[in-house]
Each structure stands twice: as C-alpha cells, then as structure tokens.
Structure 1
Amino acid sequence: MFPILGLLLIVAVVGGIFVLQALTVRDNLQAAKGQISQVVPLVKAGDTAGVQKVADEVLTLTTEANDIVGNPLWQVAGAVPFVGENVSAVSETTMATHVLVRDAMPIALDLLAKTDVKNLMVEGGGINLQPFRDMQPQLPALRAAFDEAKAHVDQIDRDAILPFVDENIGQLVDIVDQAVPMLGLAEKYLPNVLSVLGDGGVRTYAILFQNNAESRATGGNPGAAAILTVADGRVQMRVDADVARFLLEGRGGDFSQEIEPPEKAQLFEAAETM
C-alpha cells in the first residue's frame, strides 16, 4: 500500500509543479501581449527608450515561458492521452511566440521607427520610396522568423484540442498562417515594384487608351495615348506638342503633319497620287 501512496504522492507533486508552470506560462504570455500593445503609441511619440524597455521586458517574459515549455516535464505531459495534444499546442504556440519576439519584433520595431505613415501617402504626384527601400533588405530575416514560427504552429492539430485552448492560441496561429505567404510575395515582388516606380533611374511608359469601337482582331486603333515618366516614385505626364496640336486642330479634320526627312515624305506623297 505504501508504494502506491508514494506513487500517488509523486504524481500529485509533479502535477502541482506542472500546474504552477502552466500558470506562469499563461501569465507571461498575457503580460507580453499587454506590453506589446504599448509599442505603437511609444513609437508614434518618438520614445525610443520606452520602446526598447518594452521590447526587453517582452523578451524576458517570452524567454521564461519558452524555457518552461521546453523542459522534460512538458514533453512527458505532451504524450499523456487526452490532454497531451492540448499541452503540445500550448508548448508550440509559446515557442512560436518567443521566436517572433526574439527575431521578428526587433526588425518590425526598427521599420516602424523609420517609417512615417505620412510618407506612405500618395501626394504631390508621387510616393516616397525610402520606407520601401529600408524594408527590402529586412524582409529575408523577417520572413525567416515567421517561417520558423510557422514550423511550430504547424505541429498543432486544432481539431484535437479543447475549444478554450484553441480560442487562446488561435489568434497567433492565424496571424502566422496569413503573414508567411504575404511576406513571401513582398520579398519576391518588392524589387520589381521599386524598379517600376523609378528607383535607380527614370522609367518611361507609353499608355494607350482604346474603347470598344476602336478594338479590332489585330489590335485595333487606340484613339488616345499618354507618355508617363516615373523617377524616384514621382509620376509626370510628358507634354507632347504634336499631340496637343492634334487635339486642337485634328477634330476639324485639318491637321497637317510634317514628315521628316523629305525622302520619307515623298513616299506618302507618291501613295496619295496612286
């Protein structure tokens, strides 16, 4: 009988330790979430010291929680029938959170500090490309952090865990699942977008406008056109003197177009006499 009582006592002690650790993990993650909510107001206020203080506190909280869920007791608990899936879900979510706080949050805070929302507005004929230039070299590291976090949350079988557990971890899982493909697209296409917007040199674009009456099987006859030049995010429509003359004189059916050189003009004159 004594061995059984001793075993029950050990189980009770271990269970008590696990419950205390689980409560610590919960409290740390909730505290970290509350601290993170303070970041944006601090950034807007330009309080760099305050932002760094919050970041350090959040990292301390998630590091402690990550160390707890990584100990052997949680690995054993993760193998227990009925409750193991829930324990593993909390563990993987905690580790994913720590990865994002440790690796992704410093990058995000750096970008947030450099980026003025007003600079992203399209005004004055253009857009400020500098925030996007600053973002481009940071994207690979940011994506790598989210990829690592996704590797953790992908281990979670949300159909096998209790509803209240899913409710608490679901927001993070959804954010990671949505962010990973978006970061992949941004990393892939941002260089092309910057190039199109005139980063590193002037870009010239011919834009042709065609209505339904002008379309043909071979392409049709665009009745209007515009030439755009784009440099460093600023867009300008080029003024074309011949186009302006066509608008002013061509509607009356009398628009004489001078063709140079003379030998080219003779080709058209010969065609008219045939």
Structure 2
Amino acid sequence: MPSPDSARPAPDSDDPAPHAADAASAVPEVSEVSEAARPEPVIPDAASAAEPPKSPTRRRTIAGVVVLGLLILVVAATAWVGIRGLQARDALEAAIPLASTIQDEILAGDGAQAAQTAADLAEFAAIARSRTSDPIWRGYEFLPFLGPNLTAVRELATVVDDVAQNAVTPLAGLAGTLDLNAFKPVDGSIALQPLLDAQSSVDQADTALARAVEDVTAIDTDNVLAVVRDAVTRLQSVTEQTASSLDAMDRAVTLLPAMLGGAAPRDYILLFQNLAELRATGGIPGALALVHTDQGSVELTQQATAEDFDPFAAPVLPLGDDTTLIYGDITGEYIQNVTLTPDFARTGALAREMWRLQFGLEANGVLSIDPVALSYLLDATGPITLATGDELNADNAVSLLLHDVYARYDDLKQQDIFFAAAAGAVFDAVKSGRADPTKLISALARAGAEHRVLVWNADETEQAVLADTTLAGDRPFSDDSTNRFGLYINDLSGAKMDFYLDVETAIGQQTCRTDRRPQYTLEVTVTNTAPADAATSLPVYVTGRGISGVPLGNIKTMVSAYGVPTMYNLGVTRDGVDAEHVPATDASYPVTSLVFELAPGESTVLHFDWLGTGPFTGDLALRSTPLITLHETEKLDLSC
C-alpha cells in the first residue's frame, strides 16, 4: 500500500497547493514529537538576513568586470611602456651622436658650445633613463620576446646617462674654462699649470668612459630586435672611439708635466727614423738630437748623425738569445741598427747607452719620429723655409727628405745634416707656437695611431703610464676580443731603395680540424716599384752602390711575422711554395723570418700560418712597420 507521501503531487505540478486535509494530516501533533527530537532553531546572522544569496548570473557579471578591469590595466600598462619606450628611443637617438660632437668641439677650442652640447646630452640622457626605470617597465622585462628588448634599452639608457654625468660634464666644464691655446708653446715654453689643472677632470672622465665601454659591451643583444641591436652597436662604437681618445689625453696630462721638466730638468734623445732604409719600428736613425726640458721650456741642445757613432765591438747591453737569433748582435753594436727589433723599449735602452758612451750624458729617455709624421706636423705649422732656401711643406716633405736629398748630395754626412736641419726646423716651428693647436693635436694623434711617434722613459713608473699604447712601441698585444699579429720589415740592401717598396696585407682564419682549432694566415704582397732602369737612373746612394752585394735597383728584405704567443708556428710559403725560413720565438711570440730579394717591378706573395689553441670568434688585427704608404689590412677569405 502506498504511503501517504507517494500520493502527494509534486511542488511543480499543475495543482497550485496541497489539499488542506492532506496538509493537516502531514503535520504531527505537538505531543507526538519528543523534546529530544526537536531541532535547534537556526538563527541567521545579520549579513545573511540582509543579503539574499548571489545568483550565478551576478557572479559572472562581477568576474567579467574584474577581467575587464585587468584587461584595461594591461592595455594601459602596455601603452605606458610603449609611449615611454618611444620617448626613450627619441632621447637616445638624440643623445648618442652628441658624445662625438662634444669631442670635436673641445678639440676645436669651442668651450661654450661644448658646454651647451653637454647640457643637451645630459638632458636627453636623463629623459631616456627616467623613461626606462619605473616599476612597470621593469616588470615587463620578464615577458618573453619583449623583455630582452626592454632590458637592453634600459641598460643602454643607463650607459648614456653615466657617460653624460661622469664623463661629458667634467670635460665640458674643463673646456669651458680652458683654451687650447693654453697648451701652445710661447717663446719655447709650454705652460704646465693648465696640464695639472686638467688632470682631475680628465681622469674622472677617462674612468667613466672605460666603465661605459665595459657596460655597453655587456648588454645582451642575442634576442633583441635589429633596431635595438643597432643602437647598442652604435653606442659601443662611439664609446670605444671616445674612450680611446680620452685615454690618450689622460696619459698625456699625467705624463707631460714630468717629461717637460716640471719637477726637475730632463734630457731626451730624439731619433729621426729614415723610412727609405726600413727597420722594424720605422727606419735607420740617420739623424739624432738631444732635447732638454726645464719647467716647460723645450730646447734642442745637440744634434748628431749616425756618422758620429763608431761601431761598438760588442752589444752595448745584453740582447737576449731571442733578439740575437732573429736580428743579430749588430742590433746593439750600430746606432743605425737599434731599431731592428720591434721592441722600442729595447731600442730606447740601446740608444741611451750608446749616447752615454759616445757623449757622456745619460738621458732620461728616447723619442722617435719619422718624415711622414713631420709632414703631418707641417700641416699644423704651415710651410717652412730651410737654410738651403728649400720650402718644406706637408706635400713635399716625404719626397724631399727620403728621395730628392740623395740626388742633391753625394756625401752621406751632408745628407744626414740636411735631414737633421729639416727636422730641427719643424721642431723650432712647433716650439715657437706657429702650429695651430687643433691641427697639432690631430697631427700627433694620427702619427701616434700609425706608430710614427714612439716614447721610452727610463723611469719604469712613468713608462708604465704608456703601457699598451701605440706610443710605447711594444709587440702586438692580444686580448679575448682580438688576436693581433705583427709584421716587421728590415732592409738588408744597405741602400735607400725602400722608398720604392710597396707592401699590402690581408689576414684571415679558417677552422677545418675536428678539434676546432683554427688556422690563421697572414698574406703579405711585396713589390719593388722602382723603374726598370733604376740601376742607372737613380742616385748611386739610393741604389746602395752594391756595397752589400745586392745588384743595383734590387731590394733585399727580411720580413718577420709575429703570431699570438699561444699559437703554434706552421711556417711560410712564398708564391705557393714552402719557403726556407728561420722559425724562432721572441718573448713567447712565435716568429717566422724570411729573407728575399726583388728586382725592379718584381713582386712576391708570402703566406705566414699559425695554428690556434682553441675556437676563436673575435677580430683579427695587424701591427706593422710604419711604411711611407700604408694600406689598410684586408680580410683574407679562406676555405678548407
């Protein structure tokens, strides 16, 4: 029998309400329910009583509002980052070129304009840094793809701001109070106080630029857009170039006061290297002079020629086995041969000792310059009339000093006297203040970069200031980013035929071995450009008169190629054939020396090879003897 409940219609049936009788029968009598079975009353809290339960529709509405709000925040933040990124980009594009502009303005002596440009740079740099340093920007750096770009731009802006605040601003302040004419000699003297006053600002700026080079190099550009990578590359180029110039300036203002006799009088031997008869660091020192400095005053107190030095019976100083094996004892026996070695520190010590033995004075150091550098200085001084009536200018100096003089004078001593007189006249023009200071600085910088000006101080502390610079004249120095090779040329003709020697170079590497050790090749193309009738058409002193057994017009040369100290020497080929050579080591550098002879119009191609110790993806560079005409070293394409 069905229960009473089974006959009750469902709440959602068509019957609007249960029958009264049925309802009454369903409610038990109060007396029928025990006290123990009676449930406790449920008393809702005030909130529950005040708010009805949320429906699913309302919950969906609230969630939608939250999502929409978050979406708006994301869009707003993205727009914020985008707008500030554009502002930072515009500021950086305006700021980066100004660093080079300021350098040019400082060198031009326009202190007021340099100060204004520095202020503009600082403003742009501050804008770029502020736009890329807020929390929203930093948060977006964690996003894939976009993040690395934002990080690179922020680091870029930080470097530019650091340069502006700690390098450019001090230099601009210095330029605003200092006239380049303050460095111009007056009555043979250079004021030392401006150099001393500049030391602090230049040192601060130099430190900041060196830091900037490291920081911009450390920016990761592996996963960034091309436009960001280009900006980093551009800044790296600007900072490296500026840092190089500033480093030279810092060393100059540090060293010059002492070398100019600020603390005590100094004496320096000046070598004039004759490029018509090549030596590793330039040419033979046919003419020499003694430079005396005292409290900024500079004088040529003595001039001499190679003919004033008798050959010494033995090297005046120990040479070491390396130098003796490659260049021979004559390096330390003849003043003309002290430049056979590419180590100018050794050259300086030998020349200083020879001067002491010959004239009884022990100099404080040795300086060197060549005729091409003199031509650069003549561009700053303007033409000079010599005692002979010749006009010496930037265009004719090299030809007059390295070629024409030999047709005019048959006597060797007369040739050296003319050379010394010309060099002395240029020195006097610079000393007297005739040189435009801006052009003079540019001339010296160019000559220094081409290794045409060399300096050796007997004081090791002072010489350390020049360490790793072109002025020090050391063997090539390699680092993690660049492998630097050396190519040094020494004449064996006993003539002045190197006026006609042309040398072109190319360098490259290839990796063909399974152990990934690369092979490096230096290609050297040497040509004797003398006329075919050189034996009869050229002055006998130019052709060497055959005193070394070399036919007139021919050029006999020793080429020494230096690899990186860690490399293994693989030898040399000449015109595709293995060549007889002298393998050696010079201060841990693997060296290959080759002797050959070229007739007029003849050319030869040499390939020097080395094996590296491990994979290398950096740059390759070459330091070579500063010839009359320098060709840029080309990239050599190699294949396995």
- What TM-score do the two structures reach when normalised by structure 2? 0.31
Deviation at 1:161, TM superposition (A): 2.2
2:169 matches 1:169: no
The answer on whether the counterparts of 1:229 and 1:237 sit within 8 Å (CA) in structure 2 is yes
Structure-2 residue corresponding to 1:71: 134
Change (3 A) 1:21 1:104: same
Amino acid at match of 1:82: F
Match of 2:174 among 111, 119, 125: 111
Structure-2 residue corresponding to 1:139: 202
The answer on whether the counterparts of 1:208 and 1:225 sit within 8 Å (CA) in structure 2 is yes
Deviation at 1:77, TM superposition (A): 1.9
Structure-2 residue corresponding to 1:149: 212
More moved, 183-192 vs 72-81: 183-192
Amino acid at match of 1:195: A
The answer on whether the counterparts of 1:96 and 1:153 sit within 8 Å (CA) in structure 2 is yes
Deviation at 1:137, TM superposition (A): 2.2
Amino acid at match of 1:10: L
Alpha-carbon separation, structure 1, partners of 2:152 and 2:208: 19
The answer on whether the counterparts of 1:43 and 1:113 sit within 8 Å (CA) in structure 2 is no
Structure-1 residue corresponding to 2:552: none
Equivalent residues in 2 for 1:174-189, closer than 5 Å: 174-180=237-243, 183=246, 187=250
Alpha-carbon separation, structure 1, partners of 2:272 and 2:198: 35
Equivalent residues in 2 for 1:210-249, closer than 5 Å: 226-238=289-301
Alpha-carbon separation, structure 2, partners of 1:238 and 1:38: 39
2:92 matches 1:22: no
Question: Which stretches in structure 2 are left out of the alignment for 5+ residues?
Answer: 1-62, 275-284, 309-640
Alpha-carbon separation, structure 2, partners of 1:225 and 1:34: 44
Match of 1:195 among 243, 258, 262: 258
Alpha-carbon separation, structure 1, partners of 2:201 and 2:106: 22
Alpha-carbon separation, structure 2, partners of 1:173 and 1:85: 18
Alpha-carbon separation, structure 1, partners of 2:273 and 2:160: 52
Change (3 A) 1:66 1:121: same
Change (3 A) 1:38 1:125: closer
Structure-2 residue corresponding to 1:59: 122
Alpha-carbon separation, structure 2, partners of 1:58 and 1:99: 11
Which fold has the larger relative contact order, with Cα–Cα distance below 8 Å and residues 6 or more apart in sequence?
A: 1
Deviation at 1:71, TM superposition (A): 0.9
Structure-1 residue corresponding to 2:426: none
1:43-82, Cα deviation, whole Å (9 max, x unpaired): 979684x765654454344323312211111212222111
Change (3 A) 1:145 1:155: same
Deviation at 1:180, TM superposition (A): 4.5
The answer on whether the counterparts of 1:39 and 1:54 sit within 8 Å (CA) in structure 2 is no
Change (3 A) 1:89 1:224: closer
Structure-1 residue corresponding to 2:318: none
Amino acid at match of 2:176: A
Amino acid at match of 1:64: I
2:179 matches 1:100: no
SS at match of 2:299: strand
Alpha-carbon separation, structure 2, partners of 1:83 and 1:57: 30
Question: Which stretches in structure 1 are left out of the alignment for 5+ residues?
Answer: 212-221, 248-274
1:229-249, Cα deviation, whole Å (9 max, x unpaired): 123444322269xx9xxx9xx
Deviation at 1:8, TM superposition (A): 3.2
SS at match of 1:238: strand
Alpha-carbon separation, structure 2, partners of 1:14 and 1:47: 43
Alpha-carbon separation, structure 2, partners of 1:59 and 1:209: 45
Amino acid at match of 1:197: L
Deviation at 1:94, TM superposition (A): 0.7
2:150 matches 1:87: yes
Amino acid at match of 2:201: Q
Change (3 A) 1:41 1:183: closer
> Bigger radius of gyration, 1 or 2?
2
Deviation at 1:28, TM superposition (A): 2.8
Alpha-carbon separation, structure 1, partners of 2:154 and 2:247: 26
Deviation at 1:90, TM superposition (A): 0.8
Alpha-carbon separation, structure 2, partners of 1:44 and 1:226: 32
Structure-2 residue corresponding to 1:158: 221
Structure with the larger helix share = 1
Deviation at 1:138, TM superposition (A): 2.0
Alpha-carbon separation, structure 2, partners of 1:192 and 1:46: 25
1:82-122, Cα deviation, whole Å (9 max, x unpaired): 12221111111111111122222221112323444455567
Aligned residue pair count: 232
Alpha-carbon separation, structure 2, partners of 1:71 and 1:91: 10
Deviation at 1:159, TM superposition (A): 3.3
- What TM-score do the two structures reach when normalised by structure 1? 0.64
CA RMSD of aligned residues (A): 4.2
